[in-house]
């Protein structure tokens, strides 16, 4: 029986040895109590390099680095294993060829039944490849961390799956104002505006990122100090190897300056488009006004001529009614010319405060009892170079429009101030940079939609009922301000009122000058003044002019264009006055004709007429002996002009 048990024990030991020798991924060997190697398996031979005959009987400390041996580490390892029942660590070990490998080491003490130490079982595993991979990963993570930490133009940080901040880079601190200690653990929704939080935008952003793999948007975000910045935001979900969501990567960039630049460009483009549109409409309306003045010239003067021969009360009343209508037409024409910036202006330096104070009574009367007019006028203000009467007319037009926008009453404020436009702000308005006097007219009326506000200065555009307005009042204001070198703006919100802002170039010094008095009594010339040459390409206008000069006692010669007039001047020596339209066909205009006429007849008097104002015509040629009259003219005005020419030297 004892022999059988001994045989079985020997057999078990043999099988165990075969098992140990078969293991090649682990070095499994025995040490005696002093650390001498007593056994050796194939795994130990594979990655330590020693065959069994070379290593048996050697001390296991030869596997340790020189530094560890010098520090007595091998002996302490055995003492620890014997004392604590186990020793386990990871460290560098040395192969037979002197190369190092990273080892995971476990040492267990072996004791007999009485507890006596028989030696140690040592198991070593080569983890060099794993450690290299871990170090490579660690280095990669470190480089990535340095990269992220080095970025200051972008806020780059992590969120957990619920949206709480888990890390923070310097770019996030620079842009948003929070240090990492302040913000870590806080919910990222604090960066959103109150309006966005109320609509649940932060939560939707995370849901979209999770569902679609990415969320990107632009919008307002908040800094620590409460100020807003315009941000480009990208949120990406992060998944682990098991495809489980572990958080979000969030990148934010402050693009406020870019947005401001884009808005400034859009404003400049809109202003340019509006300016070009108004310029085109202005050219059209100026041409219409010119043609309309030709028609009015015929109507007005035929009516004036009729009054000299009509005696019946009914006929006189009809003619007077027609004259009033023609005068109204002339006023509309002047408003069209004002919009097209072709009205004649009598500009002078004025104190805008004195202008408004002197006109206050008229403005209050125009407001009516339901509107509370308030004036906010400084004690001192720069001068402006404007036509005083046109300034008052523009202000009255604005007041009347404001009054009509407050049918149930309201507050109307006229205020004056000053500003200094920078190059950028002036460029948007297409006016020179520099100091400006600012005149604002603000009401609490119905206000306008953006579409209506963009069209208020267009001729004949009106929101009033039929018969309540011509749509030319604000056109006159626009034309007057721009012709005076200024700028006008509209700020209106539907239901909240309108503010009209006028900017006029400021002049530091100057003295207000009053308008020269002009006589309201015009006396027609009754005496014969000689021969007149009338040059007019419109037959109807030519016919009316001929009638007027004939009624004033002139001998009349006519021509339809400049070339015909020159032919008459070269053959007829008895011409005293040249009366010519300015705009004519066949190349030569009235101004050029006047110069040619004075070369042929140095003493000839020249009177030029046009539906355009004198300010819109070439300035050369208007010297002594040359005068100008605007269409539509009346025969009494024409008589006064001729009398002035005759008395001039």
Higher pLDDT residue, 395 or 311? Answer: 395
Do 296 and 242 share a domain, yes or no?
no
Residue count of the chain:
649
- Residue (of 296, 285, 284) closest to 610 by Cα position: 296
Higher pLDDT residue, 541 or 55? Answer: 55
- In eight-state DSSP terms, residue 488 is E
Integer Cα distance of 225 and 222 in angstroms: 8
pLDDT score, position 501: 92
138-152: average pLDDT: 59
Integer Cα distance of 610 and 560 in angstroms: 15
Residue 133 CB-density burial (10 A; 0-12 exposed, 13-18 middle, 19+ buried): exposed
Say yes or no to pLDDT of 288 above 90.
Answer: no
Query: Is position 525 within any domain?
Result: no
φ/ψ (deg, to 5) at 18: -60, -40
Q: Would you call the peptide bond into 632 cis, given omega within 30 degrees of 0 as the criterion?
A: yes
- Residue (of 511, 371, 541, 516) closest to 441 by Cα position: 371
Do 481 and 389 share a domain, yes or no?
yes
Query: Is position 364 within any domain?
Result: yes
Q: The domain spanning residue 617 has which CATH number?
A: 3.40.50.2300
282-292: average pLDDT: 54
pLDDT score, position 525: 37
Integer Cα distance of 122 and 105 in angstroms: 7
104-129: average pLDDT: 91
Do 535 and 454 share a domain, yes or no?
no
Residue with tokens 């041409």: 287
609-632: average pLDDT: 68
Do 57 and 95 share a domain, yes or no?
yes
Query: Is position 291 within any domain?
Result: yes
Q: Say if residues 443 and 406 touch (Cβ distance below 8 Å).
A: yes
Integer Cα distance of 121 and 107 in angstroms: 6
Query: Is position 336 within any domain?
Result: no
pLDDT tens by residue, 158-185: 899 999 998 888 888 888 899 988 989 9
Do 456 and 502 share a domain, yes or no?
yes
- Residue (of 353, 393, 402) closest to 373 by Cα position: 402
Q: Which long-range contacts (CB under 8 A, 24 or more apart) does 611-614 make?
A: 611/289, 611/290, 611/291, 611/292, 611/293, 611/294, 611/333, 611/583, 612/286, 612/289, 612/290, 612/337, 612/342, 612/582, 612/583, 613/337, 613/342, 613/343, 613/344, 614/344
φ/ψ (deg, to 5) at 352: -60, -30
Integer Cα distance of 16 and 370 in angstroms: 114
pLDDT score, position 7: 47
Cα 318 to the chain's mean position, in Å?
58
φ/ψ (deg, to 5) at 79: -65, -40
Residue finishing a domain among 220, 254, 288:
254
Query: Is position 513 within any domain?
Result: no
Do 359 and 496 share a domain, yes or no?
yes
- In eight-state DSSP terms, residue 464 is S
State pTM to two decimals: 0.35
Percent of the chain with pLDDT over 70: 76
Residue finishing a domain among 237, 254, 271:
254
Do 556 and 622 share a domain, yes or no?
yes
Return the exposure string of 561-599: e unless at least 16 CB atoms fall within 10 Å of the residue's CB, then b: bbebbbebbeeeeebbbbbbbbbbeeebbbbbbbebbbe
Q: What residues contact 280, with CB distance under 8 A and at least 6 apart?
A: none
Say yes or no to pLDDT of 32 above 80.
Answer: yes
Kindly calculate the radius of gyration of the chain based on its CA atoms and give it in whole angstroms: 50
Do 120 and 232 share a domain, yes or no?
no
Give the torsion sign (CA, 361, 350, 421, 265): positive
Residue finishing a domain among 254, 283, 314:
254
pLDDT score, position 526: 39
Which tokens sit at 247?
Answer: 């958080």
pLDDT score, position 594: 87
Integer Cα distance of 330 and 546 in angstroms: 22
Please tell me the total count of domains within the chain: 5
CA trace torsion 145, 148, 150, 155 (10° rounding): -150
pLDDT tens by residue, 421-458: 888 777 767 788 889 999 999 999 988 888 777 777 76
Do 536 and 591 share a domain, yes or no?
yes
Higher pLDDT residue, 332 or 450? Answer: 450
Do 307 and 388 share a domain, yes or no?
no
pLDDT score, position 312: 75
Which tokens sit at 149?
Answer: 């930490």
pLDDT score, position 600: 85
Query: Is position 565 within any domain?
Result: yes
- Please, which pLDDT band fits residue 6 given cuts at 50, 70 and 90? very low
Residue 137 CB-density burial (10 A; 0-12 exposed, 13-18 middle, 19+ buried): exposed
Least confident of 65-79, 397-411, 544-558, 621-635: 621-635
SS3 assignment, position 63: helix
pLDDT score, position 511: 41
Q: Say if residues 239 and 162 touch (Cβ distance below 8 Å).
A: no
- Residue (of 500, 376, 503) closest to 437 by Cα position: 503
Cα 132 to the chain's mean position, in Å?
55
pLDDT score, position 63: 93
Q: What residues contact 423, with CB distance under 8 A and at least 6 apart?
A: 433
Q: The domain spanning residue 380 has which CATH number?
A: 3.30.565.10
Do 391 and 436 share a domain, yes or no?
yes
Q: What is the DSSP code string of 187-255?
A: BGGGGB-HHHHHTTHHHHHHHHHHHHS-EEEEEEEE-TTS-EEEEEEEEEEEE-TTS-EEEEEEEEEE-
pLDDT score, position 147: 52
H helices of 256-387, in order, are 256-307, 313-339, 352-367
Cα 255 to the chain's mean position, in Å?
13
Integer Cα distance of 496 and 639 in angstroms: 54
Say yes or no to pLDDT of 466 above 50.
Answer: no
Integer Cα distance of 457 and 459 in angstroms: 6
Query: Is position 79 within any domain?
Result: yes
Most confident range, picked from 201-210, 527-536, 608-617 = 201-210
120-148: average pLDDT: 75
Do 224 and 297 share a domain, yes or no?
no
pLDDT tens by residue, 470-523: 444 576 677 778 878 888 888 888 888 999 898 999 987 444 434 333 333 333
Mean pLDDT, the chain, whole residue set: 79
Q: The domain spanning residue 156 has which CATH number?
A: 3.30.450.20
pLDDT score, position 469: 44
Say yes or no to pLDDT of 316 above 70.
Answer: yes
pLDDT tens by residue, 364-419: 877 878 889 998 888 889 999 987 777 877 888 788 888 888 988 899 999 998 88
Q: Which long-range contacts (CB under 8 A, 24 or more apart) does 556-559 make?
A: 556/531, 556/532, 557/531, 557/532, 557/533, 558/533, 558/534, 559/533, 559/534, 559/535
Say yes or no to pLDDT of 91 above 90.
Answer: yes
Most confident range, picked from 329-343, 415-429, 607-621 = 415-429
pLDDT score, position 160: 92
Q: Say if residues 188 and 202 touch (Cβ distance below 8 Å).
A: yes
Integer Cα distance of 79 and 646 in angstroms: 137
Query: Is position 136 within any domain?
Result: no
pLDDT score, position 109: 94
Residue 248 is part of which domain span? 151-254
CA–CA distances in Å: residue 245 to residues 207, 240, 353: 12, 7, 70
pLDDT score, position 523: 35
225-247: average pLDDT: 90
Bridging pattern class, strands 371-376 and 383-386: unpaired
pLDDT score, position 155: 84
């Amino acid at each position: 029986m004892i022999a059988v048990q001994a045989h079985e024990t020997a057999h078990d030991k043999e099988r165990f040895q075969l098992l140990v020798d078969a293991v090649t991924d682990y070095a499994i060997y025995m040490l005696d109590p002093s650390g001498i190697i007593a056994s050796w398996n194939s795994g130990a031979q594979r990655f330590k390099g020693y065959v069994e005959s070379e290593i048996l009987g050697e001390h296991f400390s030869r596997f340790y680095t020189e530094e560890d041996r010098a520090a007595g580490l091998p002996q302490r390892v055995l003492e620890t294993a014997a004392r604590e029942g186990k020793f386990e660590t990871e460290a560098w070990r040395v192969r037979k060829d002197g190369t190092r490998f990273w080892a995971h080491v476990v040492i267990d003490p072996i004791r007999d039944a009485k507890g006596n130490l028989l030696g140690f079982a040592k198991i070593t595993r080569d983890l060099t490849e794993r450690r290299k991979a871990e170090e490579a990963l660690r280095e990669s993570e470190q480089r990535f961390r340095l990269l992220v930490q080095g970025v200051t133009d972008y806020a780059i940080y992590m969120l957990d799956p619920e949206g709480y901040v888990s890390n923070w880079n310097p770019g996030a601190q620079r842009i948003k104002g929070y240090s990492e200690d302040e913000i870590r653990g806080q919910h990222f929704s604090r960066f959103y505006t109150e309006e966005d939080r109320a609509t649940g935008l932060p939560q939707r952003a995370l849901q979209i990122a999770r569902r679609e793999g990415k969320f990107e948007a632009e919008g307002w975000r908040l800094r620590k100090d409460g100020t807003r910045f315009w941000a480009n935001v990208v949120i990406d979900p992060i998944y682990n190897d098991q495809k489980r969501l572990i958080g979000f990567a969030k990148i934010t960039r402050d693009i406020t300056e870019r947005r401001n630049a884009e808005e400034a460009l859009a404003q400049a483009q809109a202003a340019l488009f509006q300016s070009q549109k108004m310029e085109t409409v202005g050219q059209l309306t100026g041409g219409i006004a010119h043609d309309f003045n030709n028609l009015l010239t015929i109507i007005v003067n035929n009516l004036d001529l009729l009054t000299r021969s009509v005696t019946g009360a009914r006929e006189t009343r009809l003619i007077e009614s027609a004259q009033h209508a023609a005068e109204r037409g002339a006023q509309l024409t002047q408003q069209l010319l004002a919009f097209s910036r072709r009205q004649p202006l009598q500009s002078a330096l004025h104190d805008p405060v004195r202008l408004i104070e002197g006109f206050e009574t008229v403005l209050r009367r125009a407001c009516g009892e339901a509107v509370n007019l308030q004036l906010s006028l400084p004690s001192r203000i720069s001068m402006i170079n404007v036509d005083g009467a046109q300034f008052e007319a523009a202000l009255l037009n604005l007041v009347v429009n404001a009054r009509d926008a407050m049918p149930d009453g309201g507050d109307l404020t006229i205020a004056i101030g000053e500003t200094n436009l920078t190059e950028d702000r002036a460029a948007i308005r297409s006016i020179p940079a520099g100091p400006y006097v600012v005149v604002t007219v603000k009401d609490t009326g119905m206000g306008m939609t953006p579409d209506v506000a963009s069209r208020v200065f267009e001729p004949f555009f009106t929101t009033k009922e039929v018969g309540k307005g011509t749509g030319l009042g604000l056109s006159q204001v626009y034309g007057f301000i721009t012709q005076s070198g200024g700028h006008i703006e509209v700020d209106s919100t539907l239901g909240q009122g309108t503010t009209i802002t006028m900017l006029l170039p400021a002049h530091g010094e100057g003295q207000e000058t009053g308008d020269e008095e002009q006589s309201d009594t015009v006396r027609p010339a009754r005496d014969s003044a000689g021969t007149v040459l009338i040059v007019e390409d419109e037959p109807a206008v030519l016919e009316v002019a001929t009638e007027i000069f004939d009624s004033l006692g002139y001998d009349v010669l006519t021509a339809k264009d400049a070339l015909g007039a020159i032919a008459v001047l070269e053959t007829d020596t008895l011409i005293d006055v040249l009366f010519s339209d300015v705009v004519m066909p066949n190349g030569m205009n009235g101004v050029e004709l006047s110069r040619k006429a004075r070369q042929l007849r140095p003493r000839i008097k020249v009177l030029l007429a046009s539906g355009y104002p004198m300010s819109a015509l070439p300035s050369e040629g208007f010297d002594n002996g040359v005068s100008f009259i605007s269409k539509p003219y009346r025969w009494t005005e024409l008589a006064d002009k001729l009398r002035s020419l005759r008395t001039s030297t």
